[in-house]
């Protein structure tokens, strides 16, 4: 087995995705099939090949001038005194 149920469960924890046992089972099977396909990449020797990348010069970066964003950024929802409410941290 390439991908185990435990691995998918751990990834689910990292990615904060709640999965039922049935989902976990189904995803494990499907993801194993996908990862097996991606393993193709491991069969080609590519040590010398440099990845392509977009490059910019220092002079092309954004100039440091502040600007206020006038419109409301955060919509309504669970809010208090201008703060955004989040779940408890314990």
Partner 1 sequence: MATTTKIGLEIHCQLTGAKSKLFCRCSSDYRGKAPNANICPICAGLPGTLPLLNQKTVEFAAMITLALGCKFPDEIAFYRKNYFYPDLPKNFQLTQYNAYGITSIGVDGRLEYGNGKDARIRRVQLEEDPGRLVYASGSMDTSLYVLIDYNRAGVPLVEIVTEPDFADTKDVRMFLDKITSIIEHLGVCDTKLEGSVRCDANVSVDGGNKVEIKNISSFADVEKALRYEITRQRTMTSREIQVRSETRHWDDARKVTKESRTKEEEQDYRYFPEPDIPLVMLGSEFVSFIKQSMPELPDTRKERFMSKYGLSAHIAQVLIGNKELADFFESTLMIYLSPKEIANWIVTDLMSFIDERQKKEEEEEEHSLFAGLKVGPEHIADLARLVDQDMINRATAKQILGQIIRTGEMPSALAKRMHASRIDDVSVLAQTVQSVFQMEQAAVQDARRNANVANFLLGKVMKITKGKADPKVALEMIQKKLKED
Partner 2 sequence: MPIYTLEAGQVVQGIKSKEFSAEEYISQLFERIEKVEPKVNAFVTLNKEEGLDRARRLDKKIRDGEQSGPLAGVALSIKDNICTKGMKTTCSSKMLESYIPAYDATVIKRLMAAGAIIIGKANLDEFAMGSTTEFSRHGPTRNPWDISRVSGGSSGGSAASVAALECAASLGSDTGGSVRCPASFCSVVGLKPTYGLVSRFGLVSYANSLEQIGPVGRTVSDVVSILNVIAGFDENDHTTTNSSKPTYSLQERKGLRVGLIKEFTEGADPGVSKMIYKAAETLEKQGCKCEEVSLPSVQYALASYYTIATAEASSNLARYDNIRYGFDMNPEGYEWNSYFARARSNFGDEAKRRIIVGSYVLSSGYYGKYYLKAHQVRSLLKREMETLFKKYDVLIGPTMPILPFKIGERIDDPLKMYLVDIDTVVANLTGMPAISVPAGFADGLPVGLQIMADQFAEQTMLDVAYLFEQAAKVQRSPEL
Orientation angle between helical segments 21-38 and 5-14, nearest 10 degrees = 100
Give the shortest CB-1-to-partner 2 separation in angstroms.
14
Question: Shortest CA distance to 23 belongs to which of 1, 5, 7?
Answer: 5
Among positions 14-73, residues that touch partner 2 (CB under 8 A) are: 14-19, 27, 30-31, 33-35, 37-42, 44, 46, 49-52, 54, 56, 60, 62, 69, 71-73
x-or-dash pattern for partner 1, window 34-73, by CB under 8 A? -------------------xxxxxxx-xxxxxxxxx---x
Residue 7, judged by CB atoms within 10 A of its CB (0-12, 13-18, 19+), counts as middle
Beta carbons of 54 and 48 less than 8 angstroms apart: no
Binding residues for partner 2, rule: CB under 8 A, are: 3, 7-8, 11-19, 27, 30-31, 33-35, 37-42, 44, 46, 49-52, 54, 56, 60, 62, 69, 71-75, 77-78, 84-90
């Amino acid at each position: 087995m390439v991908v185990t149920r435990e691995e998918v469960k751990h990834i689910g924890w990292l990615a904060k995705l709640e999965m039922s046992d049935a989902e976990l089972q189904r995803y494990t099977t499907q993801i194993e099939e996908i990862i097996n396909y991606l393993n193709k990449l491991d069969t080609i020797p590519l040590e010398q090949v440099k990845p392509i990348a977009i490059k910019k010069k220092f002079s092309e970066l954004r100039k440091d001038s502040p600007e206020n964003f006038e419109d409301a950024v955060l919509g309504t929802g669970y809010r208090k005194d201008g703060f955004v409410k989040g779940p408890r941290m314990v």
